[in-house]
């Protein structure tokens, strides 16, 4: 059987789905690998590295897509290229069924197996395949680095003969994987860190990393059975707003990470809250692509409002493409390994397997 992958649209996605270190793992299962020419050149990976490991390099994307049993990608393949995918092939990636429903319906008509990895269940067995966790970890780290680089004061407390420089105060909104990594990174760099989340289970995790957890007294636990955040009630939102309004007046840097799967990101930091922040403060909004957690957030722009810099990027992982690709490629391999019937050398769409059932788009 053959696994193939083509380059993503480089203007929006620099990550790749197959890295050299993962080739041997695929070949050990009996797969052939085919990639299009210059697949990893933008990351410093020459075609010859893939060839030396046993992969085939093709100049023709049509050949790659048409001859592969399994196609692995980051995002959805464009309409003009998806026409080359044939019946009974398998496409695996972050297919975003909420936005690409029509495209996916058309592919499903061709009896193509479609697996979207952001739909993986949060169970122990799926942890090695969990692309949301591996990628969010890096995003949380990088958001702190980027925001600190744009903050025009020192981060840690510094005691000098000329006086003391106070430590920067950081607020992390949303204590999921990205938020927890942001807390850990900010703390390591000497900041005083606060965090807030609608899931009360986050309190212990935040405090274990040295952060102070801010929560609405007597609030409900807004966590789904799958471990994700769910929509808050109007009463909770009002109380949370009051808590944040007071907190933000003394905060230097805010990292926003709050997302609800398949929905617009909740607007948490309102206009009046931003207006009451200290001039020179920085907000980094990781939820920008889904509407943003902050008023004034614009995708791929730095907006300055009342002296506060609000930063939002469509894909922060393009700033860490090699690390992100390495983790994503391993997640993908583990998913394929689970999907592959090694005895009969074929794909086994076993709907009794929760991992396969939840990620399969019908």
**Sequence ranges of the chain with CATH classification 3.40.50.720:** 2-119+321-361, 136-318
Q: What is the pLDDT of residue 224?
A: 59
Range with the lowest mean pLDDT among 97-101, 125-129, 223-227, 348-352?
223-227
| Average pLDDT over all residues of the chain | 92
| pLDDT over 60 at 16, yes or no | yes
Q: How far is CA 334 from the centre of its chain?
A: 18
| pLDDT over 80 at 259, yes or no | yes
Q: What is the pLDDT of residue 356?
A: 96
Residues catalogued as catalytic: 122, 127, 130, 133, 228
On whether the 136-318 domain is CATH 2.30.40.10, my answer is no
CATH superfamily of 2-119+321-361: NAD(P)-binding Rossmann-like Domain (3.40.50.720)
| pLDDT over 70 at 227, yes or no | no
| SS3 readout for 253-309 | EEEECCCCCCCCCCCCECHHHHHCCCCCCEEEECCHHHCCCECCCCCCEEEEECCEE
Average the pLDDT over 256-262 and give the result.
84
Alpha helices in the chain (DSSP H): 20-28, 47-52, 61-67, 79-82, 101-108, 131-149, 177-188, 202-208, 234-248, 271-275, 321-339, 354-359
CA gap 188, 185 in Å, rounded: 5
Q: What is the pLDDT of residue 215?
A: 84
pLDDT digits (tens, 9 = 90+) for 40-74: 999 999 999 999 999 999 999 999 999 999 999 99
Q: What is the pLDDT of residue 194?
A: 97
pLDDT confidence of 137, banded at 50, 70, 90?
very high
């Amino acid at each position: 059987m053959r696994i193939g992958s083509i380059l993503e649209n480089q203007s929006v996605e620099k990550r790749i789905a197959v890295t050299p270190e993962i080739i041997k793992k695929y070949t050990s299962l009996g797969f052939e690998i085919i990639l299009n020419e210059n697949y990893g050149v933008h990351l410093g990976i020459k075609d010859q590295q893939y060839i030396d490991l046993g992969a085939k390099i093709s100049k023709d994307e049509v050949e790659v897509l048409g001859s592969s049993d399994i196609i692995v990608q980051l995002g959805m393949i464009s309409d003009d290229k998806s026409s080359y995918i044939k019946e009974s092939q398998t496409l695996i990636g972050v297919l975003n069924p909420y936005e690409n429903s029509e495209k996916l319906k058309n592919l499903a008509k061709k009896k193509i197996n479609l697996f979207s990895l952001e739909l993986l269940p949060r169970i122990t067995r799926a942890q090695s395949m969990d692309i949301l966790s591996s990628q969010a970890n890096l995003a949380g780290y990088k958001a702190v680095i980027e925001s600190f680089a744009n903050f025009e004061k020192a981060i840690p407390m510094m005691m000098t003969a000329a006086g003391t420089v106070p430590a920067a105060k950081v607020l992390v909104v949303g204590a999921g994987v990205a938020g927890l990594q942001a807390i850990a990174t900010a703390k390591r760099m000497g900041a005083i860190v606060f965090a807030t989340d609608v899931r009360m289970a986050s309190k212990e995790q935040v405090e274990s990393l040295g952060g102070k957890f801010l929560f609405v007294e007597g609030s409900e636990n807004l966590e789904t059975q799958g471990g994700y955040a769910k929509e808050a009630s109007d009463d909770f939102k009002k109380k949370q707003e009051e808590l944040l309004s007071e907190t933000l007046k003394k905060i230097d840097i805010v990292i926003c990470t709050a997302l609800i799967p398949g929905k617009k990101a909740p607007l948490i930091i309102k206009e009046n809250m931003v207006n009451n922040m200290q001039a020179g403060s920085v907000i980094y909004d990781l939820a920008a692509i889904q509407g943003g957690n902050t008023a004034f957030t614009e995708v791929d722009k730095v907006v300055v409002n009342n002296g506060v810099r609000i930063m939002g990027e469509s894909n922060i992982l393009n700033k860490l493409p090699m690390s992100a690709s390495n983790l994503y490629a391993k997640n993908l391999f583990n998913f394929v390994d689970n999907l592959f019937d090694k005895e009969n050398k074929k794909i086994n769409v076993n709907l009794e397997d929760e991992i396969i059932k939840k990620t399969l788009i019908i």
